[in-house]
Amino acid sequence: MKDIPTSSGLTEHSACGRELAAKLAALSHPARLRILRYLAAADACCCKDVVDCLDLAQSTVSQHLKILVEAGLVDFTPERQRSRYTVNRDRLSALSHSLQVFFSSCCMAGLDLPMSSGKNDRA
């Protein structure tokens, strides 16, 4: 019989769970995924670059960038004329690792599924 976690076991992981959920929520919109891919390919760019490339309204891009920055997945660097946005690759890597740990600890027990090494994976 499988052990069911008690409420005390769940409580100790609730902070990590909230953080993971917040990052996943930031990735839950298709436009934000498109923006993240664009930023990753461009290395660093301003809001106008994203607007021009993805054919989204400036206000839409600004709101989505704000959400990605608040989640820690994108870094914002204010500059004189054009503030720059860059993907925070370390935090994305940590998120990937957290997801692997989460799924292997709660959902994949007893399943023989290969886990990604993260080296050549694409979003």
Give residue-wise pLDDT tens across range 43-69: 899 999 999 999 899 999 999 999 999
Q: Is the pTM above the cut of 0.85?
A: no
Please check the confidence at residue 1 and state whether its pLDDT lies above 50: no
pLDDT of residue 65: 97
Contact present, 76 and 67 (Cβ < 8 Å): no
pLDDT tens-place string over residues 87-108: 999 999 999 998 888 888 776 6
Amino acid at residue number 22: A
Q: Which CATH class is domain 18-104?
A: mainly alpha
Confidence label for 39 from pLDDT (cuts 50, 70 and 90):
very high
Q: What secondary structure does DSSP assign to 89-112, as a single string?
A: HHHHHHHHHHHHHHIIIII-TT--
